[in-house]
């Protein structure tokens, strides 16, 4: 996530758009809703057009960079981050199958008002499908690293900067209007008063899930390193609270580094390698949250939970997308929109609902991501520095 002050402003804009949309939907007539539907359709076309470009623009350079710097330590760290995200998503999915059916999620609402079809339709087909974009990103990134194509690698770096600009200057600014229009429609139909409260329960559940997954990660870190996890975790409260306040892994990085350096269970070498890298590639809390949310929304809007096979496929790919997620507010959910639409078959209403609900807990997901980096550092200690051979400078904590 970006460290800019505007990051927090985006969350406020999304919430304000949600509230305005919900209010307007209660008051609007058919003519107003026709205009809202037309605007929402056009904005949705722009967002979904950009998704394959975002995938190619962010995933390809990440793979190319990894290939050129593919040391054993780096590959191990990225693999651990990927496994942590996949594990968090699998844990979330298993919990979803066990919990969501008992939450009384409303799947059918009687007495709904029919939405008018948009009178103005602007079709903007994407240049390629989401799966084509993913395969292109994987093959192109690997080929650049194999051939050491310096000119293409520089071009990919520029493409990444270009797509970052597109996301921050185009996609992010129109998201509040897209979300507001969707909630206007939900309110006009009469769905909102019945369906939205369930998400307050779901947000509470995923926050509990964050703490459970952190316990799992730190337990594994303690086993691999042979050191007490509490000797790391006890120093991480300032980083956790900072992440809750900033909603940004990048903004929290100085505090996270300070916390990790105080731990006597972590070496200087591993700390200064893993903590900054983890802020970029380790998004376990965000992945756990989104997995539970998409299952809830699937049941709510489409009447059924995704099949186990579908969720397994989604999770395996989601882990890749999370490692290369763009460093913007809500980067994880933005990077995964292609999967949400192509694998889970969400329509624009489902996507907008996911974006809005994800924003409500974004700070807690970020806090889980940041705190989990300390556990990954312990795992790296166990693999590369179990006997403390890397250096003899350790934390300053008691």
**Are the beta carbons of 285 and 364 closer than 8 angstroms?**
yes
Question: Higher model confidence: residue 106 or residue 144?
Answer: 144
**pLDDT tens digits, residue range 1-43?**
334 444 456 667 777 887 888 889 888 888 888 888 888 888 8
**Are the beta carbons of 189 and 115 closer than 8 angstroms?**
yes
Q: What CATH number is given to the structural domain containing 243?
A: 1.10.3860
Asked if residue 321 is part of any domain, the answer here is yes
**pLDDT tens digits, residue range 166-182?**
877 888 788 788 878 87
Helices (H) and strands (E) in the chain, counts: 18, 0
Q: Is the pLDDT of residue 195 over 70?
A: no
Q: How far apart are CA 322 and CA 368, in angstroms?
A: 14
Asked if residue 390 is part of any domain, the answer here is no
Question: Higher model confidence: residue 7 or residue 333?
Answer: 333
Q: Is the pLDDT of residue 155 over 50?
A: yes
Task: Please provide the average confidence, as pLDDT, over all residues in the chain.
Answer: 81
Identify the domain containing residue 239 by its residue range: 6-385
Asked if residue 173 is part of any domain, the answer here is yes
pLDDT (mean) for 232-257: 77
Asked if residue 260 is part of any domain, the answer here is yes
**pLDDT tens digits, residue range 106-124?**
655 555 667 777 777 788 8
Q: How far apart are CA 65 and CA 72, in angstroms?
A: 14
C-alpha 53 chain-centroid distance: 17
- 3-class secondary structure per residue, 29-49: CHHHHHHHHHHHHHHHHHHHH
Asked if residue 398 is part of any domain, the answer here is no
Tally of structural domains, the chain: 1
Asked if residue 392 is part of any domain, the answer here is no
Asked if residue 1 is part of any domain, the answer here is no
Asked if residue 248 is part of any domain, the answer here is yes
Residue with tokens 């970052």: 164
In this structure, what token pair is assigned to residue 288? 């756990």
């Amino acid at each position: 996530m970006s460290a800019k002050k505007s990051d927090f402003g985006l969350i406020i804009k999304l919430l304000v758009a949600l509230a305005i949309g919900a209010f307007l939907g209660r008051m609007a007539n058919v003519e107003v809703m026709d205009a809202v539907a037309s605007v929402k359709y056009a904005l949705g076309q722009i967002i979904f057009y950009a998704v394959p470009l975002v995938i190619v623009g962010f995933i390809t350079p990440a793979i190319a960079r990894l290939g050129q710097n593919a040391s054993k330590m780096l590959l191990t760290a990225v693999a651990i981050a990927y496994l942590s995200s996949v594990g968090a998503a699998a844990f979330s999915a298993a919990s979803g199958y066990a919990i969501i059916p008992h939450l009384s999620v409303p799947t059918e609402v009687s007495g709904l008002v029919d939405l008018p079809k948009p009178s103005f339709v602007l079709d903007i087909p994407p240049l390629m499908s989401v799966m084509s974009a993913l395969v292109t990103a994987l093959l192109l990134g690997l080929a650049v690293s194999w051939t050491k194509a310096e000119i293409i690698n520089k071009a990919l770096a520029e493409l990444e900067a270009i797509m970052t600009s597109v996301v921050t200057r185009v996609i992010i600014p129109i998201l509040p209007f897209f979300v507001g229009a969707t909630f206007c429609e939900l309110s006009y139909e009469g769905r909102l008063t019945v369906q939205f409260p369930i998400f307050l329960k779901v947000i509470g559940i995923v926050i509990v899930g964050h703490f459970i997954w952190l316990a799992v990660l730190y337990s594994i870190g303690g086993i691999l390193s042979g050191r007490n996890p509490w000797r790391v975790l006890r120093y991480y409260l300032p980083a956790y609270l900072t992440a809750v306040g900033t909603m940004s892994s990048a903004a929290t990085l100085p505090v996270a580094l300070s916390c990790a350096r105080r731990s006597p269970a972590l070496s200087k070498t591993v700390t200064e390698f893993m903590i900054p890298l983890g802020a970029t590639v380790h998004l376990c809390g965000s992945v756990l949250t989104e997995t539970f949310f998409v299952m809830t929304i699937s049941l709510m809007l489409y009447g059924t939970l995704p099949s186990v096979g579908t969720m397994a496929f989604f999770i395996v790919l989601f882990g890749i997308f999370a490692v290369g997620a763009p460093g913007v507010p809500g980067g994880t959910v933005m990077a995964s929109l292609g999967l949400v639409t192509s694998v889970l078959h969400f329509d624009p209403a489902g996507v907008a609902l996911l974006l809005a609900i994800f924003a409500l807990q974004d700070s807690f997901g970020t806090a889980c991501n940041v705190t989990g980096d300390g556990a990954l550092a312990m795992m790296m200690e166990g693999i590369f520095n179990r006997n403390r051979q890397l250096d003899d400078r350790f934390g300053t904590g008691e």
